[in-house]
Amino acid sequence: MTDRTRSIFEICLTLKAVSRVLAAQQSCTCSFLQPSGLRVNCSSLNLMELPYLPTDTTKLHVQNNWLTSVSPGRFDRLVGLKKASLSGNPFHCDCRIEYLRNWLIKNKAIISKEPTCASPSSVAQKAISELSDEYFSSCGPASCTNGTYNAVMGVMLCCVIVLLLWCLRLAKASAFTLFIDERHSGFEADSLRSMKPKHRRRLHTDSLNYVMDLEKPPLNMELLPQVLDMLHKKHNIKIKAT
């Protein structure tokens, strides 16, 4: 017995052990095909879950069982599969059937008889491969942590909204006062964060001074009262001329 034959034989033994547990002491049968490959027969064994299959499987028979879905990735390793029979199983066509549907579309040539949906009633007796993309539009990524992820993201979004509302309220309650002398030699800004005494802060900018260019014409002081009034009414900014 060669190493390859021994490995295949060991895989078949493992497959029988798994099938025995799943099918009340009944087991799948493996037979060698020429020139290479395996024929795996798991039909009519009352299987409720498809067992792991040898990678050298070329013909697969799992019809007339109690399969409601196929675990994602279960067929990906069967690159040499040439014939498969999945009919006679009560497949439940919800989000869990999407993997099988996509696999059937890509491998129609090797399916001997198209498996159909047994439930829900809206798609009963409909071929699984005929389910549209819109049918799975509400399905999210297949992950056991999907619900936890959505909950965490919802909490974070609520925190961001509360923070934005607090900043908006703080901005509306704030007032700014600017003191400007006639020569515009400097200015002082006092920022009050809130009208409440405990939130008031005073920002002194005594060190911020600039020297105006004496050659430029002075500011038109006749328009200054209108500017001050507009800033106060629309932006809550108080400016006092000194």
Looking at the structure, tell me whether residues 8 and 109 fall in a common domain.
yes
Q: How far is CA 157 from CA 136, 148, 160, 166, 224, in A?
A: 26, 14, 5, 14, 45
Instruction: Count up the domains in the chain and report the number.
Output: 2
What pairing do the DSSP bridges indicate for beta strands 29-32 and 237-241?
unpaired
Looking at the structure, tell me whether residues 91 and 189 fall in a common domain.
no
Looking at the structure, tell me whether residues 187 and 138 fall in a common domain.
no
3-class DSSP state of 212: coil
- Cβ–Cβ under 8 Å, residues 214 and 220: no
* Residue whose C-alpha is closest to residue 219's, from 195, 191, 185: 185
Looking at the structure, tell me whether residues 191 and 118 fall in a common domain.
no
Sign of the alpha-carbon dihedral angle for 195, 197, 198, 200:
positive
pLDDT digits (tens, 9 = 90+) for 84-105: 999 999 999 999 999 999 999 9
pLDDT digits (tens, 9 = 90+) for 115-153: 999 999 999 999 999 999 999 998 876 544 456 767 888
Looking at the structure, tell me whether residues 180 and 134 fall in a common domain.
no
- Cβ–Cβ under 8 Å, residues 91 and 117: yes
Instruction: Take residue 202 and report the two structure tokens written for it.
Output: 């005073």
Looking at the structure, tell me whether residues 181 and 120 fall in a common domain.
no
Q: Domain residues for 196? A: 174-241
Domain membership flag for residue 224:
yes
pLDDT digits (tens, 9 = 90+) for 5-40: 556 556 665 555 444 444 434 688 988 887 778 999
Domain membership flag for residue 161:
no
* Residue whose C-alpha is closest to residue 73's, from 47, 110, 98, 94: 98
Domain membership flag for residue 155:
no
3-class DSSP state of 40: strand
* Residue whose C-alpha is closest to residue 192's, from 182, 213, 178: 178
Looking at the structure, tell me whether residues 138 and 91 fall in a common domain.
yes
Looking at the structure, tell me whether residues 96 and 179 fall in a common domain.
no
Out of 92, 127, 142, pick the residue that ends a domain: 142
Domain membership flag for residue 148:
no
Only one residue has tokens 């690159």, namely 79
Looking at the structure, tell me whether residues 63 and 117 fall in a common domain.
yes
37: domain CATH number is 3.80.10.10
Looking at the structure, tell me whether residues 20 and 130 fall in a common domain.
yes
- Cβ–Cβ under 8 Å, residues 120 and 148: no
Looking at the structure, tell me whether residues 126 and 16 fall in a common domain.
yes
Looking at the structure, tell me whether residues 8 and 78 fall in a common domain.
yes
The DSSP line for 54-119 is -TTEEEEE--SS------TTTTTT-TT--EEE--S--EE-SGGGHHHHHHHHHTGGGBSS--BEEE
- Cβ–Cβ under 8 Å, residues 25 and 63: no
pLDDT digits (tens, 9 = 90+) for 165-214: 888 888 777 665 555 555 554 444 444 444 455 444 444 444 444 444 54
Domain membership flag for residue 158:
no
Out of 83, 118, 142, pick the residue that ends a domain: 142
Residue type, 192: L
pLDDT at 59 over 50: yes
3-class DSSP state of 127: strand
